[in-house]
Amino acid sequence: MKHDAKAFSGARRQHHGFTLVELMVGMLVGLLSTLVIANLLSSSEGSKRSATSGSDAQVNGGLAVYALQRQLKMAGYGLTTEGTALGCLLSARFGGAALASLPPTLAPVLITAGAAGAPDTVRILASSKASFALPTRLIAPYYDPNDTVGDKARRFAVASSLGVNQGDLLVLVYGADQACQVFQASNPPAVGQIDRLDAGSWNAAKFPDAVAANGSYLVNMGSLNDNSFSVTADFKLRQTQVNLAAQTSSDQDLQSNIVTLKALYGKDTNGDDVVDTFDAVMPANNAEWLQVRAVRVAVLARSAQYEKEEVTASAPLWDVGSFAAVAGSAACGTSKCVALKANVTDDWKHYRYKVFDTLVPLRNQLWRSDFTSGAVPQPPAVP
């Protein structure tokens, strides 16, 4: 059998495979495909991280506002039941010395404004009594720290000791715009009597140091709920709890990626029971504290994801509406806005921001009894 040499040679050439040029083209196509896929995955992962961090910012900001709102709703409980106590300057002696941790003023909320747009500090005060805390009216014979004949320096005659327990911290209120002084109930209260015995802790000799009179009364702080909210240098919302009775404090970081905290007093300056002014100016006297009806709070949260491109062009705006005058606001469309400071780092534009705000009526301020000590309710006139 004879074979055709040319046919055999052609068949052998058909099985030679790819040429070098074909291999290089194939490798180039593969590399380009790998590059495209890698870029697509990277972009997808970046978008995923941005969306996730944006969701984290939503959660952190929402929880931060909730924590503040929860405490603000209880602000002034047991302390502002009687309006004349509002704004009085507090003083106390512990071991014979003044207390650095004592709040300077008896008020529901103390706002310390940050300088040049820095975060504010919000301090919230309330009685710690779990059941109820009522003002206790003093009756004759009135407390007299200089009495050496009777027991006026060792006890307070009261119309009722309801709600007072041994160890409670009590504030002696002499009247509007007068100093208020703190002492501790020494014994379980008897009927119509609260004891104040000299002791090495709260009850220094002859303190409170002023004579009480008709119209004076006691405010029951218990051990005092004293909570402050601030923003740390590493962007965390911090809650500081002060235990006045034990003279201790503890810090707890609540939420991360919180850039700033701003707070404003809502004031009724014309007496029509409608808030018409928002500002951070702390009231200076009793009349000004009586104007405070609410507190408005804004929290600026930041995403955790650093973006390669600048994604924020200008300072975030807090829309405060136009129904009242707001200190520091400017027109923004049909509303008014307050610019919140976000440029606390050089790369601040590479993050995304979200503003959360809430307006909390101070219900314990609105529900105060404003009783007048010594006044006797009169029956309605008979026509």
In a domain, 163, yes or no: no
The pLDDT score that the predictor gives to residue 210 is 95
Query: Average pLDDT in the 63-83 region?
Result: 94
In a domain, 111, yes or no: no
In a domain, 99, yes or no: no
More confident of the two residues 25 and 297 = 297
Gap between the Cα atoms of 344 and 235, Å rounded = 10
Q: Are 225 and 127 in contact (CB under 8 A)?
A: yes
Q: Are 15 and 8 in contact (CB under 8 A)?
A: no
In a domain, 357, yes or no: yes
The pLDDT score that the predictor gives to residue 17 is 66
pLDDT tens digit string along 258-267? 999 999 999 9
Given pLDDT bands bounded at 50, 70 and 90, which one contains residue 253? very high
Gap between the Cα atoms of 77 and 106, Å rounded = 11
Given pLDDT bands bounded at 50, 70 and 90, which one contains residue 5? low
Rg of the chain's alpha carbons, rounded to an integer? 34
- The model's pTM: 0.83
Given pLDDT bands bounded at 50, 70 and 90, which one contains residue 241? very high
pLDDT tens digit string along 146-192? 999 999 999 999 999 989 999 999 999 999 899 999 999 999 988 89
In a domain, 138, yes or no: no
The pLDDT score that the predictor gives to residue 306 is 87
Torsion region of 131: left, alpha or beta (phi above 0 gives left; psi -120 to 50 gives alpha): alpha
Provide the percentage of residues in the chain whose pLDDT is more than 70.
Answer: 88
Count of domains for the chain:
1
Name the 3-class secondary structure at 246: coil
Beta bridge partners of 332: 335
In a domain, 253, yes or no: yes
pLDDT tens digit string along 265-280? 999 999 888 999 999 9
User: Domain range spanning residue 251?
Assistant: 52-83+228-366
Q: Are 208 and 115 in contact (CB under 8 A)?
A: no
Whole-number Cα distances in Å, 283 to 18, 119, 205, 369: 88, 20, 32, 21
The pLDDT score that the predictor gives to residue 382 is 40
Strand-strand pairing, 335-339 and 236-243: unpaired
- Most confident segment among 2-6, 150-154, 200-204: 150-154
- Determine which of 40-44, 240-244, 282-286 has the lowest per-residue pLDDT on average: 40-44
The pLDDT score that the predictor gives to residue 378 is 42
Of 135, 140, 203, 211, give the one whose Cα is nearest residue 166.
203
Q: In the chain, helix, strand, coil percent, each to 5?
A: 20, 30, 50
Q: Looking at the predicted structure, is the pLDDT value of residue 354 above 50?
A: yes
Gap between the Cα atoms of 237 and 260, Å rounded = 9
In one-letter notation, the amino acid at residue 341 is K
Name the 3-class secondary structure at 315: coil
Strand-strand pairing, 155-157 and 225-231: unpaired
Given pLDDT bands bounded at 50, 70 and 90, which one contains residue 98? confident
Q: Looking at the predicted structure, is the pLDDT value of residue 6 above 60?
A: no
More confident of the two residues 327 and 5 = 327
Query: Average pLDDT in the 200-221 region?
Result: 93
In one-letter notation, the amino acid at residue 255 is Q
The pLDDT score that the predictor gives to residue 165 is 93
Given pLDDT bands bounded at 50, 70 and 90, which one contains residue 16? low
More confident of the two residues 371 and 294 = 294
More confident of the two residues 2 and 164 = 164
Q: DSSP code of 9?
A: H
Q: Looking at the predicted structure, is the pLDDT value of residue 220 above 60?
A: yes
Given pLDDT bands bounded at 50, 70 and 90, which one contains residue 14? low
Q: Looking at the predicted structure, is the pLDDT value of residue 285 above 50?
A: yes
What is the chain's mean pLDDT, rounded? 87
In a domain, 238, yes or no: yes
In a domain, 77, yes or no: yes
Q: What's the residue count for the chain?
A: 383
In one-letter notation, the amino acid at residue 225 is N
Q: Looking at the predicted structure, is the pLDDT value of residue 303 above 70?
A: yes
Query: Average pLDDT in the 317-334 region?
Result: 93
Q: Which residues contact 91 (CB under 8 A, 6 or more apart)?
A: 98, 102, 179, 180, 181, 182
The pLDDT score that the predictor gives to residue 309 is 87
- Determine which of 34-38, 59-63, 119-123, 155-159 has the lowest per-residue pLDDT on average: 34-38
